[in-house]
A and B are shown apart, each in its own frame.
Chain A
C-alpha cells in the first residue's frame, strides 16, 4: 500500500488533488481510499488530506500517520514543525517551490520533487491552483502512477476549458519537476 498525505490551504485544491489522485490509481485498477480532514470550510486555513492505494482492498479508515509521500501544496506550510512527522524511511516530498531543497530536510527523506507549481498554474490556468501540476510532478518523481492515468483521472472532475488547462498544468509538472535523491 502507498499512503500519501497532502498539506495545503483551503481553496488551493489539496482536497481535490487527493481525490483525483485516487481516481488516477483506480483507473490503473488499484483499490483506493481518500479523504480530507478539516472542521469548518475555511478558505486559506491549513487543510490536510489523505490518499491510499493498493492492489488489495483498503480496510483502514483512519488518518495517515506514516506516509510514504508528502505533497505540500502551499510552501509556507513547510514552516510547520510537524509537517514532516511520520515520514517513512526513504520517503518522498513533493513540494510546490521555485527552488530545489537547500539540503535534506529529514534523515527519512529519500527523494524530493520540487516544481514551481504556483508560477506554472498562474501561467496555465490564470490562478494559483497548483494542485494538478503537483500531481504530474508526483507521477514523474515517484513512478507510482502513469501520467496518462493522472490526466484521465482529471477528466472525472473537470471539463471543457478547465480540464484542458489542468491537463497542461499536470503535463508541465511532470516535465519540469526537479528530483533530488538521498541514500
Chain B
C-alpha cells in the first residue's frame, strides 16, 4: 500500500544500468562530457548524445579518438573549473591508465563511470572487476553499485564526493558489465530541482583554484623531492577523509531522496551472524536471497556489501567482521602474485585488527560466469563447515569445482 502510494507520487521509468548512469549524469548538469564508446558501456555515450541532441543536456560534447584523450579532456576541463563526466570500460580504462594518475595527481574532480569488464590478455567481452582492480593505486576513489537505482544514485553522489572541498579527487563509479549495464529495472527518477538542491552545497564552498587564460597557476608542474612528497601526503590525506565524507553525503542523499545505502559498506542481517560473506556489485543482490533462505533454515549468516573499494573501509569493515566464526570473500577478479582474489587479500590485511579467524576466498563470476544461487549456497555451506573447525580450502575457484 505504501509502495503503491509512493509509485503514484514518484516518477518511474524502466532503464538499463547504462541508461540510469546517463540519465543521472545529465541531471548533474555537466559542463563538459568526453565520449568514446566501448562494449558494454556504449549505451551511456549514446544516451548522452541523445540528451544533447534533444536539448536536455547543455554540455560541451568532446568526441575523442580514444580513451586516453577522453580522460585528458575531462581532466583539463575540470582544471578549468568545469563539472565533467566521462564513461569507459575494460580496454578503455587501461588505455587511460597514465591519464588517470594525472587526473588524480592534479586533484581534478572528474566523475567517471567504469562498466566492469575483463581487460585484455584473454579476449573476453564479458563482465569482471579486473579493470577496476588494475587501476586501484591510481589515487582515484572507487565506488561499486549493486543495482540500477544505486548506479543512478551513486553518479549523483559522486559529484558531491569529488567536488567536496575536503576531498577534491576523481571518483570512479563501477558497475558490472552485462549483469547491470544491460539490466533493465524500474528506476525512480528525481526531479531536476531535487538534484540541484542536493548538489547546491558545493556552490557554497570556497571556489577551488582553476586555470584561467592569462593568469598564472601552478598545476601539474614538477614536484621534485619534498614538493612531490608533500603533494602525495595531501592526496593520501584527502583520500582518507573521503571515507567520512562519503558517509555524510550518503546520509544527506537519504534525507533528500529517501534512499541511503550505508556509506562505505552495508551490513545485511549481520547482527547475530556467526558467519559472514563479503562481496560487491550485482552478486550482492543474489546473495541477499541466499542469506534470507539460509536464515529461514536457522543458519546465522550475514552479508557485507563493499560499496567503496578505494579508499578501503578499514574501520567499518574491521568492526563488521569482528567476532565472526568464519568470513568468506567472494571476488570477481584476481590478485596475481597473492594466489587469491584482491578483495580477499585486502581483508586479510585486516586480520591484525579482527584476530585470527577462518578466512575463505571464493573466486567466481569471471568473464560473465554467472554467480548463481547454488554457488552462493555452497559458499555459505563451506563457511558453516569452517566455522565448526573443519579444514577448509582458503581459495576456491568455484566454477572450477574447487
Contact = CB atoms under 8 A, between A and B. Distances in A.
Contacts of A35: 16, 178-179, 182-184
Given A26-B14, A37-B178, A61-B283, A32 B289 contact: no
B282 A61 contact: yes
Contacts of B186: 26, 31-32
B126 A39 contact: yes
Interface stretch (B315-323, B367-375, B388-396): B367-375
Given A32-B186, A33-B185, A35-B183, A62 B368 contact: no
B120 interface: no
A34 B183 CA distance: 5
Contacts of A63: 370, 372
Contacts of B368: 37, 39
Contacts of B183: 33-35, 61
A167 B7 CA distance: 26
Q: Which among B39, B176, B178, B286 has the highest number of chain A CB atoms within 10 Å?
A: B178
Interface string B355-372: 000000000000010111
Nearest to B292: A59
Nearest to A64: B370
Interface in B37-91: 39
A32 B185 contact: yes
B125 interface: yes
A35 to B, nearest CB: 4
A39 B122 CA distance: 13
B25 to A, nearest CB: 20
A36 interface: yes
Contacts of A31: 185-186
B4 A29 contact: yes
Interface in A133-159: 156
Contact of B180 (A34, A58, A61): A61
Contacts, number: 70
Interface string B13-40: 1101000000000000000000000010
A32 B125 contact: no
Nearest to A40: B125
Contacts of B348: none
A58 B52 CA distance: 32
B288 interface: yes
Interface string B129-170: 000000000000000000100000000000000000000000
A33 B149 CA distance: 12
B285 A61 contact: yes
A12 interface: no
A10 to B, nearest CB: 14
A40 B39 CA distance: 9
Interface string A26-53: 1001011111110111000000000000
A34 B184 contact: yes
B228 interface: no
A146 B35 CA distance: 40
B14 A23 contact: yes
Contacts of B179: 35, 61
A22 B148 CA distance: 14
Contact of B285 (A32, A36, A59): A59
A60 interface: yes
A71 to B, nearest CB: 16
A130 B180 CA distance: 27
Contacts of B7: 29
B29 to A, nearest CB: 25
A93 to B, nearest CB: 23
A63 B282 CA distance: 12
B184 A62 contact: no
A62 B377 CA distance: 13
A29 B184 CA distance: 15
A26 B185 CA distance: 9
Contacts of B180: 61
A40 B124 CA distance: 9
Contacts of B4: 29
A77 B186 CA distance: 30
A36 B125 CA distance: 14
Given A22-B184, A35-B183, A39-B368, A61 B286 contact: yes
Interface string B377-398: 0000000000000000000000
Q: Which among A60, A62, A65 has the highest number of chain B CB atoms within 10 Å?
A: A62
A133 to B, nearest CB: 21
A19 interface: yes
Contacts of B16: 19, 35
Interface of A: 19, 22-23, 26, 29, 31-37, 39-41, 58-63, 65, 156
Interface of B: 4, 7, 12-14, 16, 39, 124-126, 147, 176, 178-180, 182-186, 282-283, 285-286, 288-289, 368, 370-373
12 contacts: A19-B14, A33-B184, A35-B184, A39-B124, A40-B39, A41-B39, A59-B285, A59-B288, A60-B289, A61-B183, A62-B370, A62-B373
Given A34-B183, A60-B285, A65-B372, 11 more contacts: A19-B184, A26-B14, A29-B7, A31-B185, A37-B368, A39-B124, A59-B286, A60-B286, A61-B176, A61-B283, A156-B14
The 3 lowest CB-CB distance pairs between A and B, nearest first, are A61-B282, A35-B183, A59-B285
